[in-house]
Amino acid sequence: MQMPIPLLEVSHLQKRFGKAVVVNDLSFSVTAGEIFGLLGPNGAGKSTTMQMIVGLLEPDGGTITLEGMPLCGRDTERFREIGFVPQDLAIYPEMSAEENLQFFGDLFGIPRVPLRSRIAEVMDWIGLSRSSHQRCGSFSGGMKRRLNFGIGILHQPKILILDEPTVGVDPQSRAHLLDCVRELAATGVGVVYASHYLEEVEALCSRLSIVDHGKILLTGTMDELCHSGPRRIELSVTRGSEQLQRRLPTEARCHRSLIDNVLKIDMPIDLTDTTRNGTEDRLLEKVSELISLVRDSGAELREIHTPQPSLEQLFLSLTGRTLRDG
């Protein structure tokens, strides 16, 4: 099968601030119509990466190409093909939503007549048609976020860079924004979506990278990532569980229900250094070892299953549970 040509390709990107390496050899690519997620805790290097793509920061190493052409320095014409929705709001509160769009449309050199119809289209899309003449300083948080998004897509970019676009918005506005992103991708726009909201990334992105300390820890589709995540075997045992409990490996966590005296065992399985197929075989091997152990201990097995790890479990297993302050 022929691989699609990447719209955006980030290769071995590096950025230092003083001695601190903020982005370290980071590479990924996005094809047309793809929503690619960059998932990471605060301070992981997501925003710095985004800022390098849109030209706000100069990389210390590596390359960024758009349709095979390098994005370097202040090549202002290339910015016409990139849409950027920054994490912090970037709107003029003293102007109306329509004036904001008019201004940014003029800045991107959209001719007057098509701009007028494009503004109406974007207003309708972001659900602000009825408030188009209202001063946006008086908007709610969700309305401001939607306008922030609308400005980023006004000039019909080929690639859209979204840096946590739903921070602090109500569920309705969030759902609306996510629908807009899906619709845009369906028209062929490539999207890079940085967030630490796992459920958003899970729902939206076809492929994603988990980033921490400026490095990509894992890249793949949701299915691929979850298969490479930490696996567990969960089992419930009724009679004769005391002996079994003594013979279980130390990493197994046991919890006895006071109501029905059922012993619930949660056992993490180390499956590192195995291929995807190898992972499933090794997991089955572990399951059968555990069943034999239950039988030999004279216990009665009620149920056993091997749940697929959630994105949250995978994320925490890779990035740890230490609090991040950004």
Partner 1 sequence: MWAITLKDLKLLMRDRRALSLLIALPLALVGILGSASKHMVNPTASDGGPIEPLRAYAVLVPAYTVMFTFFLVNVMARSIIQEREWGTLRRLRTSPITPFALLWGKTIPFWILSCAQGAVLFLAGRYLFGMPWGSAPWLLIPVLCCTSLAATALGLWVATIAKTESQVSAYSNFVVIVLAGVSGCLVPRGWLPDWLQTASLLTPHAWALMAYDQVLRAAQPQIGLLFGSCGVLLGFTLIFFLGGRSRFQELQ
Residues making contact with partner 1 (CB under 8 A)? 54-56, 74, 76-80, 82, 84, 86, 88-95, 99, 103-104, 106-109, 151
Closest distance between partner 1 and the C-beta of residue 145, in Å? 12
Closer CB to partner 1, residue 74 or residue 321? Answer: 74
Whichever of 82 and 123 has its CB closer to partner 1, that residue is 82
- Spell out the residues 6+ positions from residue 243 whose beta carbon is closer than 8 angstroms to its own: 297, 298, 299
Measured from the CB atom, the residue of 76 and 277 that comes closer to partner 1 is 76
Burial class (CB in 10 A: 0-12, 13-18, 19+), 108: middle
Report the nearest approach of partner 1 to the CB of residue 51 (Å). 9
SS3 of residue 85 by DSSP: strand
Q: Which is nearer to partner 1, 154 or 265 (CB)?
A: 154
Q: Which is nearer to partner 1, 51 or 195 (CB)?
A: 51
Smallest gap from Cβ 177 to partner 1, in A, equals: 17
- The residue among 140, 148, 145 whose CA lies nearest residue 100 is 148
Least distance between partner 1 and beta carbon 66 (Å) = 13
Burial 232-256 (b: 16+ CB within 10 A, else e): bbebbbeeebeebbeebeeebeeee
Least Å distance, CB 201 to partner 1, is: 23
C-alpha closest to that of 136 among 126, 144, 128:
144
Q: Facing residues of 39 across strands?
A: 195, 210
